[in-house]
């Protein structure tokens, strides 16, 4: 092989490596540039929520206060692990998590610092925040019973306990026990009715389930809509999204025929946030949380995603049409403390 | 280049020129240490549990997850091997209408992430009132998304190796089937084995699709124990079980390769005539080569068509920067990973030290560890040390995909006869000169294939990117997953299509490589 050919083929060989190195260098430079860009008027947010509407709200906050928000959205559990391993090195000032149990877990792990804020005490109801001020609820979502009126009489269901009625055998469909929303619901019931009664309830209710468990809410809602299931447990915002037409005309037609039943009392879960223990800019971090919890912020944070604001029902038309509910009043902190026991109870009583 | 024909393996080359070998060894040790750090960390962590190693147990959940994993690996491995080797053989050695296009079409499934395939299947199903769920569907999804590995690695072998033997078959009156079973298949075994091992590892660490389809496997169990049950030691116990499975896969592949090793001493460039297919054979060939690519690409497109009315496009600028980040990350990861893979494959050839040989084998195990676990391990290593997220991210990719780059190179190295190295070294070439003047030109095709495979894998990669990326650094895969996990199909649509396009572009970049094999066998 001639020297020229060797050279040419060598150049071909090395190209991917070389391009890779160049790409890596430019990536590192970009990252370094971002990292060095002013610590002062900037906060880092780790968020387990990922909705486009959230980003609009963060921009609004930046416009109002001049504080720049740098965002990392990932799975809640991964964020908790990352924050813990980063310790003092963490660039995060605010941790936003979905579900009461996770907020409680993060504060147990010492990832939050206690804060005091008159605005937050005013805007966040007692049952929706940590008693030591480590985290504050920002939005509410309700786990409701969704009924296909052609198959099940909506009036026959008044409480979660009614789902254990043997008449629903084969008609009840559930999402699996990995869902934190189901875990917190069971924790809620254990606190309200005691462990033994909750165990009996779960056992009888899961005996009604003959179809494979679902792994997400939307297919469950569709299955209820097209009559494969008669009744199920879902979060309000998934239904609201479909009813509002956000997920297409077919879903809208399907979901509009269904009846959202608020049990009395209803199980309310939250998303919430706290200032991280090693925040570099805790004052600005608290400011962001105050902004998100304020009625104005809540409009963009909760209602834009079809969630309920911290107080009242807000102005989202779809949610208003669902009607009103009475919250169980069990605090997020209590539910979080009961999470492990709830998972165990579900496991031993047949919740797949 | 050298005399044609195949010879029996000879002893490893004697190396007269030792200079520079220390640098090679050192580089190899560094790569191996980096690659093994997360695994080593896992093992150390498992031993440091409250009850030491005795506290590690499978439990009843774990047993079920193990059975599911083994079942999936077996089913997907078998089906994928049949499909991949079948389409590899058909498109390389048989002649039928559309062969050229169908050969290229086998690369399409590479572009589709399995979680996307699962999510679209479930979504399309639930719209049509059909429930997509359970192990059968999981096998379908995973086979579709992994058989291309077997195809890619085997088709090259079918194309280039054993032409003379096949000609001999033909002149002795052995038909296509006989030639396939008795000559081509055994000769392609190392490549097919490497492909099956890759597919099997992909199945072991698969997370998104199995979670969506409701089949609890080890990787889902690891995550569950670690993050939801707050039992990291139990999680590591499961991770070690997964590692054992993959070690077995890799060992089996190596065994297979050793048994069927035979040096490929070049080929003459004359085109071997292909077998013409007619009648039912033609229909069967079409089915085998057409249906899988059609499904993998058709499903997401059907899904896109069904969800068009809920399309929520993000601003073009945002989409461009998402794609740019995916592209740059994948470039960096593929370049570095292939370089590391080449280094390890070379070490295997040049450094007779047993320890280095074993270490270089172990370094490929990262592919076995679910991305989530690599991410957790790297977080716990890098977090306290204050390492930049970008460094951790690339480290994670390289660790995860090293086996992809290395597998093809190892197999290709085995086809280069040691006599060439011996000749070169006896003429005074150092290992570097041999690499430059002999190996790199001969390895061009596996290098390109390796680079593109890692590229596509990185574009699709989710758990590592998701948990290790820096602030404000979303990629296409991240965005798709966020929307899909939040059950917002409309918003996930455009980034998902962009992943497909990026993956498709990379897969199509493989075409010249496939074509080259056909028209210009290595000389």
DSSP line for B447-510: HHHHHHHHHHHHHH--HHHHHH--TT---HHHHHHHHHHTT-HHHHHHHHHHHHHHHHHHHHHT
Instruction: Return the pLDDT at A37.
Output: 43
Instruction: Give the chain A residue nearest B337 (alpha carbons).
Output: A17
Instruction: Return the pLDDT at B261.
Output: 56
Taking a contact as any Cβ pair under 8 Å apart, which residues of chain B between 303 and 322 contact chain A? Answer: 307, 309-310, 312, 314
Taking a contact as any Cβ pair under 8 Å apart, which residues of chain B between 34 and 73 contact chain A? Answer: none
HSE of A351, CA atoms in CB hemisphere, 13 A:
27
Whether B4 maps to a domain, the answer reads no
- Using the Cβ of B379 and the Cβ atoms of chain A, whether some distance falls under 8 Å is answered with yes
Instruction: Return the pLDDT at B23.
Output: 74
Task: Please classify residue A232 by burial: count the beta carbons closer than 10 Å to its beta carbon, then call 0-12 exposed, 13-18 middle and 19+ buried.
Answer: buried
Both tokens assigned to A214: 């679902």
Domains and CATH numbers, chain A: 42-140+269-305 (3.40.190.10), 141-267+316-348 (3.40.190.10)
User: Pick from A5, A78, A215: which is nearest to B214 by CB?
Assistant: A215
Cβ contact (<8 Å) for A35 and B230? Answer: no
Whether B49 maps to a domain, the answer reads yes
Q: Chain A partners of B118 at a C-beta cutoff of 8 Å?
A: none
Whether B6 maps to a domain, the answer reads no
Pairing of strands B6-7, B263-264: antiparallel
How many other C-beta atoms are found inside a 10 Å radius of the C-beta of residue A239?
25
- Using the Cβ of A253 and the Cβ atoms of chain B, whether some distance falls under 8 Å is answered with no
Average pLDDT over residues B241-264: 73
Spell A302-328 as b/e; 16+ CB within 10 A means b. Answer: bbbbbbbbbeeebebebbeebeebebb
Q: Chain A partners of B309 at a C-beta cutoff of 8 Å?
A: 248-250
Count of structural domains, chain B: 1
ipTM for the complex shown = 0.76
Q: Model confidence at A38, in pLDDT bands (50, 70, 90)?
A: very low
* Contact present, B212 and B170 (Cβ < 8 Å): no
Q: Model confidence at B222, in pLDDT bands (50, 70, 90)?
A: confident
Q: Model confidence at B514, in pLDDT bands (50, 70, 90)?
A: low
Q: What is the pLDDT of residues B92-114, one digit of tens each?
A: 878 888 888 888 888 888 878 88
Instruction: Return the pLDDT at A292.
Output: 93
- Using the Cβ of A105 and the Cβ atoms of chain B, whether some distance falls under 8 Å is answered with yes
Cβ contact (<8 Å) for A247 and B333? Answer: no
Q: What is the pLDDT of residues B119-170, one digit of tens each?
A: 888 888 887 878 888 889 999 999 998 998 888 888 877 776 666 777 777 7
Distance of alpha carbon B408 from alpha carbon B362, whole angstroms: 16
Q: Chain B partners of A5 at a C-beta cutoff of 8 Å?
A: 441
Instruction: Return the pLDDT at B241.
Output: 84
Nearest to B456 by CA among B295, B370, B320, B334: B334
Nearest to B199 by CA among B373, B367, B449: B367
Whether omega before B321 lies within 30 degrees of 0, making that bond cis, reads: no
Average pLDDT over residues B438-456: 82
Average pLDDT over residues A10-37: 54
Spell A105-139 as b/e; 16+ CB within 10 A means b. Answer: bbbeeebbbebebeebeebbeebbbbeebbbbbbb
Whether B8 maps to a domain, the answer reads no
Instruction: Return the pLDDT at A116.
Output: 92
Q: Helices B316-350 and B389-415, interaxial angle, to 10°?
A: 50
User: Pick from B129, B211, B441: which is nearest to A1 by CB?
Assistant: B441
Distance of alpha carbon A53 from alpha carbon A75, whole angstroms: 18
Whether B122 maps to a domain, the answer reads yes
Whether B9 maps to a domain, the answer reads no
Instruction: Give the chain B residue nearest A25 (alpha carbons).
Output: B332
Whether B473 maps to a domain, the answer reads yes
What's the mean per-residue pLDDT of chain B? 78
- Using the Cβ of A290 and the Cβ atoms of chain B, whether some distance falls under 8 Å is answered with no
User: Is A169's pLDDT higher than 90?
Assistant: yes
Q: How distant is the Cα of B183 from the closest Cα of chain A, in angstroms?
A: 31
Q: What is the pLDDT of residues A261-288, one digit of tens each?
A: 999 899 999 999 999 999 999 999 999 9
3-state secondary structure of B106: coil
Both tokens assigned to A170: 């084969």
Expressed as residue numbers, the domain containing B47 is 15-262+276-519
Q: How distant is the Cα of A121 from the closest Cα of chain B, in angstroms?
A: 30
Cβ contact (<8 Å) for B129 and A226? Answer: yes
Instruction: Return the pLDDT at B262.
Output: 54
Average pLDDT over residues B67-83: 92
Instruction: Return the pLDDT at B53.
Output: 54
The least confident of A149-153, A310-314, B290-294, B372-376 is B372-376
The contacts of residue A152 (CB under 8 Å, 6+ apart) are A168, A171, A230, A231
How many other C-beta atoms are found inside a 10 Å radius of the C-beta of residue B115?
25
* pTM summary value: 0.81
Instruction: Give the chain A residue nearest B133 (alpha carbons).
Output: A212
Q: Model confidence at A68, in pLDDT bands (50, 70, 90)?
A: very high
- Using the Cβ of A170 and the Cβ atoms of chain B, whether some distance falls under 8 Å is answered with no
Average pLDDT over residues B478-491: 74
CATH code assigned at B429: 1.10.3720.10
What's the mean per-residue pLDDT of chain A? 86
Which residue in the block uniquely carries the two structure tokens 């009648």? B279
Q: Model confidence at A28, in pLDDT bands (50, 70, 90)?
A: low
Task: Please classify residue A10 by burial: count the beta carbons closer than 10 Å to its beta carbon, then call 0-12 exposed, 13-18 middle and 19+ buried.
Answer: middle
Q: How distant is the Cα of A160 from the closest Cα of chain B, in angstroms?
A: 24
Distances (CA, A) of A114 to A135, B59, B477: 8, 39, 36
Distance of alpha carbon B12 from alpha carbon A165, whole angstroms: 74
3-state secondary structure of A112: strand
Q: Model confidence at B16, in pLDDT bands (50, 70, 90)?
A: very low
Instruction: Return the pLDDT at B24.
Output: 76
Q: What is the pLDDT of residues B5-14, one digit of tens each?
A: 344 444 444 4
Whether B91 maps to a domain, the answer reads yes
Average pLDDT over residues B253-271: 59
Instruction: Return the pLDDT at A342.
Output: 94
Distances (CA, A) of A268 to A262, B38, B207: 11, 40, 30
């Amino acid at each position: 092989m001639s020297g020229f050919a060797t050279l040419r083929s060598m150049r071909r060989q090395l190209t991917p490596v070389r391009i890779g190195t160049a790409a890596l260098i430019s990536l590192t430079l970009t990252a370094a540039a971002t990292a060095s860009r002013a610590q002062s008027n900037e906060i880092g947010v780790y968020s387990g929520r990922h909705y486009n509407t959230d980003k609009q709200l963060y921009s609004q906050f930046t416009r109002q206060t001049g504080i720049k928000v740098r965002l990392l959205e990932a799975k809640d559990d991964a964020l908790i692990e990352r924050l813990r391993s980063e310790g003092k090195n963490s660039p995060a000032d605010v941790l936003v998590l979905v579900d009461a149990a996770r907020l409680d877990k993060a504060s147990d792990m010492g990832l939050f610092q206690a804060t005091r804020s008159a605005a937050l005490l005013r805007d966040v109801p007692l049952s929706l925040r940590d008693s030591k001020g480590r985290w504050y609820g920002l939005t509410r979502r309700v786990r409701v019973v969704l009924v296909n009126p052609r198959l099940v009489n909506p009036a026959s269901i008044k409480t979660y306990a009614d789902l254990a009625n043997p008449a629903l055998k084969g008609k009840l469909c559930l999402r699996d026990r990995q869902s934190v929303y189901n875990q917190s619901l069971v924790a809620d019931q254990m606190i309200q009715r005691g462990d033994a009664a909750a165990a009996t309830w779960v056992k009888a209710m899961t005996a009604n389930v003959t179809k494979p468990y679902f792994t997400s809410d939307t297919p469950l809602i569709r299955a209820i809509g097209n009559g494969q299931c008669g009744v199920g447990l879902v979060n309000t915002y998934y239904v609201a999204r479909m009813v509002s037409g956000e997920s297409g005309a077919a879903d809208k037609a399907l979901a509009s025929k269904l009846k959202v039943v608020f049990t009395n009392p209803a199980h309310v879960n939250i998303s919430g946030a706290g200032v991280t223990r090693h925040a570099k800019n805790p004052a600005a971090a608290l400011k962001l949380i105050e902004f998100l919890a304020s009625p104005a912020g809540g409009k963009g944070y909760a209602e834009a995603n079809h969630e309920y604001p911290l107080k009242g029902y807000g102005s989202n038309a779809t949610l208003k049409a669902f009607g009103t509910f009475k919250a169980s009043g069990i605090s997020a902190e209590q539910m979080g403390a009961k999470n492990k026991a709830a998972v165990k109870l579900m496991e031993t009583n047949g919740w797949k | 280049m050298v005399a044609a024909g195949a010879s029996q393996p000879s002893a490893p080359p004697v190396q007269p020129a030792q200079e520079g070998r220390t640098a090679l060894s050192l580089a190899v040790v560094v790569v191996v240490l980096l690659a093994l750090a997360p695994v080593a960390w896992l093992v150390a962590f498992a031993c440091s549990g409250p009850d030491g190693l005795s506290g590690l147990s499978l439990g009843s959940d774990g047993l079920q997850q193990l059975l599911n994993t083994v079942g999936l690996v077996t089913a997907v491995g078998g089906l994928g091997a049949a499909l991949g080797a079948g389409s590899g053989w058909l498109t390389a050695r048989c002649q039928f209408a559309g062969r050229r296009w169908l050969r290229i079409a086998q690369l399409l499934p590479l572009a589709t992430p399995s979680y996307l395939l699962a999510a679209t299947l479930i979504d399309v199903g639930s719209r049509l009132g059909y429930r997509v769920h359970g192990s059968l569907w999981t096998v379908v999804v995973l086979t579709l998304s992994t058989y291309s590995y077997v195809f890619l690695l085997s088709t090259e072998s079918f194309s280039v190796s054993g032409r003379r033997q096949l000609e001999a078959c033909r002149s002795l009156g052995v038909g296509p089937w006989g030639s396939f079973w008795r000559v081509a298949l055994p000769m392609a075994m190392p490549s097919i084995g490497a492909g099956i091992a890759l597919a099997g590892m992909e199945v072991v660490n698969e997370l998104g699709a199995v979670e969506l389809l409701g089949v609890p496997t080890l990787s889902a169990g690891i995550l569950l124990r670690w993050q939801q049950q707050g039992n990291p030691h139990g999680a590591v116990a499961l991770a070690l079980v997964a590692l054992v499975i993959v070690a077995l896969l890799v060992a089996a592949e190596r065994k297979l390769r050793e048994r069927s090793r035979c040096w490929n001493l070049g080929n003459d460039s004359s085109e071997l005539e292909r077998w013409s297919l007619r009648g039912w054979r033609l229909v069967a060939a079409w089915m085998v080569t057409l249906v899988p690519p059609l499904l993998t690409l058709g499903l997401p497109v059907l899904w896109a068509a069904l969800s068009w009315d809920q399309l929520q496009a993000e601003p073009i600028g945002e989409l461009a920067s998402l794609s740019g980040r995916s592209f740059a990350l994948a470039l960096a990861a593929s370049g570095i990973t292939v370089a590391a893979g080449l280094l390890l494959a070379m070490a295997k050839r040049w450094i007779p030290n047993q320890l280095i040989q074993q270490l270089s084998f172990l370094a490929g195990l990262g592919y076995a560890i679910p991305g989530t676990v690599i991410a957790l391990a790297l977080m716990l290593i890098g977090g306290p040390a204050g390492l930049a997220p970008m460094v951790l991210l690339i480290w994670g990719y390289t660790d995860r995909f090293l086996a992809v780059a290395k597998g093809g190179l190892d197999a290709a190295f085995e086809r280069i006869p040691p006599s060439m190295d011996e000749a070169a070294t006896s003429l005074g070439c150092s290992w570097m000169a041999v690499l430059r003047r002999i190996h790199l030109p001969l390895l061009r095709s596996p290098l390109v294939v390796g680079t593109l495979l890692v590229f596509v894998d990185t574009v699709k990669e989710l758990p590592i990117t998701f948990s290790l990326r820096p602030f404000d650094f979303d990629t296409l895969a991240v965005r798709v997953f966020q929307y899909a996990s939040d059950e917002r199909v409309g918003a996930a649509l455009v980034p998902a299509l962009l992943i497909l396009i990026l993956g498709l572009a990379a897969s199509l970049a493989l075409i010249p490589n496939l074509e080259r094999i056909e028209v210009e066998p290595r000389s």
